[in-house]
Amino acid sequence: MLRPASQPESLLLSPAPGTGAVGVSPLGVGHAEPCVVVIFGASGDLTHRKLIRSLFDLDRSGVLPKGTVILGVSRTPMSDDAFRDKLAPSARKFSAAAGAWGKAHDDAWASFARRVHYHAGDAAQLDAFPALSERINALARAGGISRSAGAMRSIAPVSAGVRKCPCAASGSPNILFYLSVSPNLYEPIIENIGASGLVTEGKRWCSIDPAAHSWQRIIIEKPFGVDAASAASLNRALGRVFEEEATFRIDHYLGKELVQNILVMRFANAIFEPLWSSRHVDHVQVTAAETVGVGSRAANYYDSGAGGALRDMVQSHLLQVLALVAMEPPSRFDADAIMREKIKLFNSAMIAGADDAPRLGAFGRYGPDAARHEPAYIHEPGVDGARATETYAAIRLCFDNWRWAGVPFYLRSGKKMAGKLTEVVVQFRRPPTNMFRTLGIDFEPRPANRIIINIAPTEGISLRIDGKVPGSAAGEGFKIASAKLDLDYAKTFGGEQVEAYGPLILDAIKGDRTLYKHRDEVESSWRICEPFLRSDALRRAIEEYPAGSWGPAAADALLIRDGRAWHNPRPDEVR
Ligand code: BG6
């Protein structure tokens, strides 16, 4: 039995400022003020591969507010200079300048590196916070970051059992916390940040001049919980310390150009929206295929009960992409309006019943990769085959609303697939009648019109239409063939490909949550995925698929049952 998801309470209200629910416009949004960016997990992979290089790229392009400093926090003792030296090769390798690195980039790095600092401490322990707070405040003072320096006092030592710091009401500088640590450390660190008194953001709402007060915000990485209950618990922990407006749940897919362009395509053009409904759309496919395997991430994350393709990709990235494709038009381009429409869409999803999950989903895990001499998933180091963790997941989803009733949305994601591909296929219905039948032309063999939004590796949009083959005439072999209208983003608009993290971090510095997720979005997307995650039958039926293929046969069967097929691109095809 399918049932519509329930409507969370916060959606029903247009709440008062400071309550944290949808409908609140954050103050000072849109202006990038200097701040201390505190990265918890400074020695981690994400910091090295994505965060520092993104901040460096922002600095190079002159948009990182003057005075902003970065403080990496990790347990390993290290000096500022040692930390900078460790980061330098990653910047060279991963920044947008990689490949064309020259003297100018060396100079830019040297200037940026002066903004980067390091603090050794275990942020999961409250007694690490007095020293950390002292360091944050000192950096802020040195950089002229705090607007109410007189109000700042150094933090008093936290004695055992005292959960509130005496300086809680004294004001803190602008701080952007970034949680890039193992998910089991999220809650302790958030709690400690709260107890340290560093967060005074909430007091902005009750001041005569809120804009004169500093802000403290937090970016939190995925995985955001492992199911709806754990996500709700994490949301509560965040809510005890941060306003919802100060909480930035990151999804790097929302920072991708083409994902944002879905909104532009749909709502800056008048020609698509009239077609965008069950009247004209047959079905929609969202695919995120990767050629890489899980490798060393298996032991600590992927096979730990927190990973698997459904949790890792579908619940987060793919549902976000789908939301932008399927939501109603927001009234304006701002965080509240967009989040409200996404939540409304998720809450109209038909949640699969326990018995439906095996029919509406398919799980697979990759076999050995002979070409690369890499093992099957079950033989990756640290994997327990009995867990049946999926490296491929496909689900079929429907929405119980006027626009999409009866239109299936198929989502799939897999590792070790035939190609690296992230795309949305909007497949239209055939024309209602075939006037060319008198010429012996059959519409059936060719797919009907479709729009493909290519998100990666190339960015573009293509529209597949039928055209008359030139030269053929009525009665003499009149022929119709498929052709493609193509918009290649890079060729048309040019410019450097931007790493998704940079613009997202800058948005958080500006207080703009448009490309971040509201707590209700996260919880409802878990509710959509839970029946599949919990289905023993689905997990028992997990299939091994050949590395380098398009996934398990059960996923093909999911569409074949509906008389449809996945769009598995071939090099020679008209997409
Ligand atoms: C991450 C997942 O969020 O996204 C990874 O944890 C995945 O497993 C990655 O490889 C894919 O991102 P992208 O931008 O390469 O499609």
Digit-by-digit pLDDT tens for the chain (575 residues) are 444 444 333 332 233 333 333 333 333 456 899 999 999 999 999 999 999 999 999 999 999 999 999 999 999 999 999 999 999 998 888 887 777 888 889 999 999 999 999 999 999 999 999 999 999 999 999 988 865 433 333 333 444 443 443 333 457 899 999 999 999 999 999 999 999 999 987 666 666 666 667 899 999 999 999 999 999 999 999 999 999 999 999 999 999 888 889 999 999 999 999 999 999 999 999 999 999 999 988 888 999 988 999 999 999 999 999 999 999 999 999 999 999 999 999 999 999 998 999 999 999 999 999 999 999 999 999 999 999 999 999 999 999 999 999 999 999 999 999 999 999 999 999 999 999 988 888 888 778 999 999 998 888 999 999 998 888 766 667 888 889 999 998 888 886 666 789 999 999 999 999 999 999 999 999 999 999 999 999 999 999 999 999 999 999 999 999 999 999 987 666 55
- The pTM of the full predicted model, rounded to 2 decimals, is 0.88
> What CA–CA distance (Å, rounded) separates 122 from 76?
9
Instruction: Count CB neighbours of 546 within 10 A.
Output: 17
Nearest-atom index, ligand 1, CA of 288: 16
Distance 377 CA to ligand 1 centre (A): 17
Distance 340 CA to ligand 1 centre (A): 26
Of the candidates 344, 315, 318, 324, the residue with the CA atom closest to the CA atom of residue 402: 344
Of the candidates 250, 122, 117, 135, the residue with the CA atom closest to the CA atom of residue 189: 122
Half-sphere exposure of 97 (CA within 13 A, CB side): 23
How far is residue 447 from each of residues 15, 287, 388, 406, 521, measured CA to CA in Å?
47, 18, 35, 19, 34
For ligand 1, atom 4: residue with the closest CA? 313
Look at residue 225 in the predicted model and tell me its pLDDT: 96
Look at residue 168 in the predicted model and tell me its pLDDT: 39
Nearest-atom index, ligand 1, CA of 256: 14
Choosing from 105, 317, 518, 567, the catalytic residue is: 317
For ligand 1, atom 14: residue with the closest CA? 253
Distance 147 CA to ligand 1 centre (A): 38
For ligand 1, atom 5: residue with the closest CA? 312
Of the candidates 370, 367, 315, the residue with the CA atom closest to the CA atom of residue 517: 315
For ligand 1, atom 2: residue with the closest CA? 312
Task: Report whether 27 contacts 136 (CB < 8 A).
Answer: no
Nearest-atom index, ligand 1, CA of 302: 8
Task: Report whether 365 contacts 544 (CB < 8 A).
Answer: yes
- The dihedral region occupied by 171, where left means phi > 0, alpha psi between -120 and 50, and beta the remainder, is left
Task: Report whether 40 contacts 178 (CB < 8 A).
Answer: yes
Nearest-atom index, ligand 1, CA of 290: 10
Q: Which residues contact 496 (CB under 8 A, 6 or more apart)?
A: 96
Phi, psi of 481 (to 5 degrees): -135, 160
Give the mutation target among 94, 317, 420, 459 for probing the ligand 1 site: most ligand atoms within 8 A of CB: 317
Give the mutation target among 251, 304, 313 for probing the ligand 1 site: most ligand atoms within 8 A of CB: 313
> What CA–CA distance (Å, rounded) separates 289 from 121?
38
Element (H, E) at 488: strand 480-488
Q: Which residues pair with 421 in a beta bridge?
A: 289
For ligand 1, atom 13: residue with the closest CA? 253
What six digits make up the tokens of 552?
């398990």
Quote the distance between the C-alpha of residue 296 and its chain's center: 22
> What CA–CA distance (Å, rounded) separates 454 from 262?
10
As to burial, measured by CB atoms within 10 angstroms (0-12 exposed, 13-18 middle, 19+ buried), residue 16 is exposed
Of the candidates 142, 145, 239, 244, the residue with the CA atom closest to the CA atom of residue 187: 239
DSSP tag of 312: I
Look at residue 499 in the predicted model and tell me its pLDDT: 76
Distance 420 CA to ligand 1 centre (A): 11
For ligand 1, atom 6: residue with the closest CA? 312
Task: Report whether 418 contacts 366 (CB < 8 A).
Answer: no
Give the mutation target among 50, 251, 252 for probing the ligand 1 site: most ligand atoms within 8 A of CB: 252
DSSP tag of 396: E
User: In the annotation, is 117 catalytic?
Assistant: no
Handedness of CA 500, 502, 508, 512 (dihedral sign): negative
Q: Which residues pair with 376 in a beta bridge?
A: none
Distance 348 CA to ligand 1 centre (A): 27
Q: Where would I find the beta strands (DSSP E) of 320-397?
A: 350-351, 361-366, 392-397
Give the mutation target among 259, 290, 296 for probing the ligand 1 site: most ligand atoms within 8 A of CB: 290
For ligand 1, atom 9: residue with the closest CA? 313
Of the candidates 397, 401, 285, 406, the residue with the CA atom closest to the CA atom of residue 351: 397
- Secondary structure (3-state) at 37: strand
Q: Which residue has the tokens 């009995």?
A: 386
> What CA–CA distance (Å, rounded) separates 47 from 509?
17
Nearest-atom index, ligand 1, CA of 297: 8
Distance 148 CA to ligand 1 centre (A): 41
How far is residue 128 from each of residues 36, 183, 185, measured CA to CA in Å?
18, 19, 14
Q: Which residues contact 284 (CB under 8 A, 6 or more apart)?
A: 322, 325, 326, 407, 408, 409, 410, 424, 425, 426, 427
For ligand 1, atom 15: residue with the closest CA? 290
Nearest-atom index, ligand 1, CA of 312: 6
Look at residue 570 in the predicted model and tell me its pLDDT: 76
Nearest-atom index, ligand 1, CA of 292: 10
Distance 554 CA to ligand 1 centre (A): 23
Nearest-atom index, ligand 1, CA of 294: 8
Cis peptide before 457 (omega within 30 of 0): yes
For ligand 1, atom 8: residue with the closest CA? 312
Distance 289 CA to ligand 1 centre (A): 10
Distance 215 CA to ligand 1 centre (A): 31
> What CA–CA distance (Å, rounded) separates 163 from 191?
9
Distance 209 CA to ligand 1 centre (A): 42
Give the mutation target among 296, 312, 416 for probing the ligand 1 site: most ligand atoms within 8 A of CB: 312
Of the candidates 410, 218, 419, 413, the residue with the CA atom closest to the CA atom of residue 302: 413
Which residues form the pocket of ligand 1, taking CB atoms under 6 Å from any ligand atom?
288, 290, 312, 422, 456
Please, what's the b/e burial string for 251-289 (b: 16 or more CB within 10 A of its CB; e: otherwise)?
bbbbbbbbbbbbbebbeeeeeeeeebebeebbbbbbbbb
- Secondary structure (3-state) at 504: helix
> What CA–CA distance (Å, rounded) separates 179 from 13?
30
